[in-house]
Structure 1
Amino acid sequence: MSRRITRLLSRLASATISIVLGGAVLATATPASAAARDGICDSGEFCYYYNSDHAGSLSDFTGSLDDYGTTQPSCYDFKGAGAGKGLCIKNEAASAWNRSTKTVRVYYNSGYAGSYQDFAPGAKTNLNTTLKNQNASHEFLASGPTGCTTDGTHSKLPTTILVYRVSLGRVDRVDFKTYVKNVLPNEWVPSWPAESLKAGAMAVKNFGWYWALTSTRKTSWGACYDVKDNTDSQVYKPGTATTATSAAVDATWNTRMTRDGKILEAHYCSTTTACGAWVSGDWMSQYGSRDKADQGQSHTTILKAYYTRIVLS
């Protein structure tokens, strides 16, 4: 929420974020695209470079490859002149040039899995900090970048959401309910009354739902994302879900909050004072939700007190 100011984050403990490491080698690579591999980056090919800024030896491909291999003579190697020539390319590339007409997706793991970086047709750039020297497979996509749209609608929850893990330099596709459950305890205090947590669960869900439907944003390297994992959107930390906050998410999961038939982009901030001039019927006070719940108000009453003209169905 770009205009949200004073936050609750100083009250909330940070969680340790684990990074899934690259997977094991699956199988010896088959030479499906070996015929055109001559160490020259020709039109129609996707090419890795050993060094950043497209320096050193290169390795060229005309199609997808789910595993590169790690030992000679069965691995896919750097063939062009320069530093790195003869080395297996798995976990060794630092930059790439996509001279094909399709978007090429580079993956952290073998088997087209894990974090990824998309290279649009014509893109010539360095691998990001997650993928540099951690490249295990690549895929020529059928058309432009995939994953930029959602299977959700204004009446149907999205199945997943694309979360830009800003400090990690990657985009994760996260199960939508898992996302909401790992945002709420970082935006609401888990010890607050249940009705406050339910109101928070609705706001967190609606904000993510709105951006899953409408986002056209991309990272600097061209990957689509719906929300960031920090205060620019909502704070998402995997593994931080609590019993109380998860119960609030479960209790409100089948309720949607709309205005004029469309999912409301539900903003919130710490207090009504902090919201300032932005208190326009689109913002909820987090502490205010706690105080109203302490007074015995239900989460539906709380939501209607802050968000004008909403329908809960």
Structure 2
Amino acid sequence: MTTLKGVPGVLAVLVAVLVGVAVAPGAASAADRDGGCDSGEFCYYYNSNQAGSVSDFTDSLDDYGTTQPSCYDFKGAGNGKGLCVKNNAASVWNRTSKTVRVYFNSNFAGASQDFAAGAKGNLNATLKNNNASHELLSGPTGCSTDGTNSKLPSTILVYRVSLGRVDRVDFKTYVKNVLPNEWVTSWPNASLEAGAVAVKSYGWYWALHSTRKTSGGQCYDVRDDTGDQVYRPSSAQASTSSAVDSTWSTRMTRSGNILQAHYCATTTACGGWVDGDWMSQYGSRDLANAGKNYQAILRYYYRDVTVS
């Protein structure tokens, strides 16, 4: 688009001792980070083929740390015990119920490798001894979506053009990190809310309908630049995120189908699109200043839509 710019448990034991009450030791939990690969955990191994010391996790982690004693380390017996996990793992066993994605960089970034629920495997040549974060993925994997015309997709495939890769991004996170790059964040709430619905509707449409692929053959739903909508991770702002939250249950359809909602700065810039399929961003600001709510603004620009 055209852009505008653990202490309570210790206290309980202490109190019990002081008053003479016997405290039974707690049973070890399967979810403890104990160097054993239990059901429900994602486990790194120091050596290939699930050999050597184990480091077990029950959830996503965006940074393992690099030095002792603060890093996440290998806890199981065998080669590598006590070493930091970051950039030291060779194989995995995914005993969670979700696909787990291992990343080359911290903060879920860089090259990645997926391991399906229950899978054992070696890290590939890129990730072996170069593992910096991992993420338990919700929703679909591959090229599929779990969205329909009546159900929001949980994720969207975003082509990070300058980085040459495709990221699967939580859909609400995507919308929150697009809106401040497409709307002026200081504009009236009704304008931002209209923009939030348009941004969501555009992404939703392409999550359902895209058959596009990168030159390398990766499927994607939307680009992260003005070829679609400008997505910048960690760019969310309070005003625009509030607009997204307040309109998240709103659906904009035409004849029951999610609208491919276009928008641009002005009516002149939007002139190439069919009238009734686009919204003027500055116009949404002016209508909001005139007292129109976001539903009225959307109906003003998009013909024959149902805003529900």
- TM-score range relative to shorter protein: 0.5 to 0.7
Q: SS where residue 296 of structure 2 aligns?
A: helix
Distance 1:263 1:256 in 2: 7
**1:29 and 2:43 aligned:** no
Query: How far apart are 1:245 and its partner, in Å?
Result: 0.4
Distance 1:186 1:277 in 2: 22
Query: Quick check: 1:272–1:279 contact (8 Å CA) kept in 2?
Result: no
Distance 1:152 1:241 in 2: 23
Distance 1:212 1:229 in 2: 14
Query: Quick check: 2:3–2:181 contact (8 Å CA) kept in 1?
Result: no
Query: How far apart are 1:217 and its partner, in Å?
Result: 1.3
Query: Quick check: 2:3–2:230 contact (8 Å CA) kept in 1?
Result: no
Higher alpha-carbon deviation: 244-253 or 275-284: 275-284
* Residue number in structure 1 paired with 2:227: 232
Query: Quick check: 2:299–2:305 contact (8 Å CA) kept in 1?
Result: yes
Unaligned ranges ≥5, structure 1? 10-24, 33-73, 76-89, 92-105, 119-130, 138-144
Query: How far apart are 1:107 and its partner, in Å?
Result: 6.1
Q: Could you tell me which of 146, 151, 154 is aligned with 2:146?
A: 151
In the superposition, relative to structure 1, how do residues 132 and 226 fare at CA in structure 2: closer, same or farther (>3 Å)? Answer: farther
* Residue number in structure 2 paired with 1:243: 238
Distance 1:222 1:149 in 2: 15
Q: Could you tell me which of 283, 286, 293 is aligned with 1:298?
A: 293
* Residue number in structure 2 paired with 1:259: 254
Query: Quick check: 1:107–1:114 contact (8 Å CA) kept in 2?
Result: no
The runs of 4+ residues in structure 1 deviating greater than 4 Å are 113-118, 131-137
Q: SS where residue 304 of structure 1 aligns?
A: helix
Query: Quick check: 2:104–2:112 contact (8 Å CA) kept in 1?
Result: no
**1:163 and 2:163 aligned:** no
* Residue number in structure 1 paired with 2:202: 207
Query: How far apart are 1:222 and its partner, in Å?
Result: 1.6
Number of equivalenced pairs = 209
Q: SS where residue 28 of structure 1 aligns?
A: strand
Distance 2:236 2:248 in 1: 15
Decide which structure has the larger Cα Rg and report it.
2
Distance 2:169 2:258 in 1: 20
Q: Could you tell me which of 275, 278, 290 is aligned with 1:280?
A: 275
Letter in 2 for 1:211: W
* Normalised TM-score (structure 1): 0.59
Distance 1:241 1:147 in 2: 26
Distance 1:311 1:255 in 2: 10
Q: Write the mapping of 1:1-313 to structure 2, written as runs, cut at 5 A.
A: 1=1, 6-9=2-5, 26-31=44-49, 108-109=103-104, 115-116=110-111, 146-313=141-308
* Normalised TM-score (structure 2): 0.60
Q: What do residues 4-43 of structure 1 show as CA deviations (whole Å, max 9, x unaligned)?
A: xx5313xxxxxxxxxxxxxxx93223448xxxxxxxxxxx
Distance 1:183 1:226 in 2: 14
Query: How far apart are 1:263 and its partner, in Å?
Result: 0.2
Identity %: 62
Q: What do residues 169-195 of structure 1 show as CA deviations (whole Å, max 9, x unaligned)?
A: 211111100100010000000000000
Q: What do residues 127-149 of structure 1 show as CA deviations (whole Å, max 9, x unaligned)?
A: xxxx9956658xxxxxxx95211
* Residue number in structure 1 paired with 2:96: none
Distance 2:112 2:292 in 1: 47
Query: How far apart are 1:226 and its partner, in Å?
Result: 0.8
Query: Quick check: 2:112–2:127 contact (8 Å CA) kept in 1?
Result: no
